[in-house]
Chain A
């Protein structure tokens, strides 16, 4: 999966949330999308997810312009927003069954049922598989969101503040999942304010400020130099 963002701009009325963005991301990259509140991180994620349209410019996935009309492109994109995009009145298991069927990730009824049970166990929700998603704690909902995308395994995984209220175990679980995804060639883009944590995880950092790209650098060893470079762009920011 290769993502090309060309001259991308998004306006809400007279307010430009993003301006003339140029980004290229290749398969296997884990990109930290950083910046203060209102920088345009969520807008960029929503544009990449196809939930909103750009005012100008375009996004290409493997050279093909992203449109909401393409079922194949939509099947390749996942947006992990902890606790969201789940039905409160369906059980954890039913949510996963519904979305795997929706994404047509069929492996036969028995193997898909097994895969769901295994994934729920893997994220520590085995005991709560029959509980309504609405009855789960925020942390458990985050784990259920992880389980959902673990099963669906998209080629482009977008994450909006994925750490949410995850505990230590949950964070380890999420990060090992993201590493496994990118090792399989998926692109992972994470928007978060947990700067130190995402810098540790990601292979590249992008900083937005007032809708403009102000920093885009691939991780270099030693990591300290990258962190220093990053620090210069976020004076007084959350590090």
Chain B
């Protein structure tokens, strides 16, 4: 209960600060939309080809916008040494990890709520039916991305070129999440159901659960590095 209370307290503070600063969300949203426009101008795709390429293109956009969010994740705490204030306080470090992870999931979710329908419009995809199920898959992918991303954002916090270092460390480790999400999205777009992609969904859920647990347990040491 205490962990949950502390998580909500920190998350509320982060959302309030974002609401007032408009730093991460606007940048992520415009960058995501810009990428879709670039894809649209670059590829002359038939509707059949779009269904094949949509998962990959969408995830490329989400990866880049999500990484933007991750690089900003602890920036709000840098001013006035507020991170030191948090680390000195008696909160459970797991709560700090959960709050930062949830914060980035919320930001990515909000960006995707706009970017995915925009993709459908730009590429004139025939059916909007798979969209709700796709959101669910993308949400699971977001969880995996943000969980691992938050751990690595904390690890690279004191590095000089952390904006460059973070994607270099993060992307190779994200391969299972990227593959699983893309396979699930492909199956949904082609056949309207998961079918043979079910093992990928299990992998995705397993990844989320394992790294969420690991994150809560190790964040104490991670932020102390």
Contacts and interface: CB of A to CB of B under 8 A. Distances in A.
> Interface extent on B, as a size class?
20 to 34
Interface stretch (A64-72, A216-224, A225-233): A64-72
A157 to B, nearest CB: 12
Contacts, number: 67
Interface stretch (A6-14, A27-35, A80-88): A80-88
A186 B7 CA distance: 30
Interface in B70-104: 76, 79-82, 84-92
A89 B89 contact: no
Interface residues of A, number: 28
Contacts of A16: none
A74 B86 CA distance: 10
Which of B6, B13, B16, B81 has its CB near the most chain A CB atoms (within 10 A)?
B13
Nearest to A133: B80
Contacts of B79: 87-88
Interface SS majority for chain B: helix
Given A84-B80, A85-B85, A104 B17 contact: no
B13 A51 contact: no
A70 to B, nearest CB: 9
A148 to B, nearest CB: 9
Contacts of B81: 81, 84-85
Interface string B51-76: 00000000000000000000000001
A84 B85 CA distance: 9
Interface string A96-118: 00110111100000000000000
Contacts of A88: 79-80
B113 interface: no
Interface of A: 49-51, 68-69, 71-72, 74-75, 77-79, 81, 83-90, 94, 98-99, 101-104
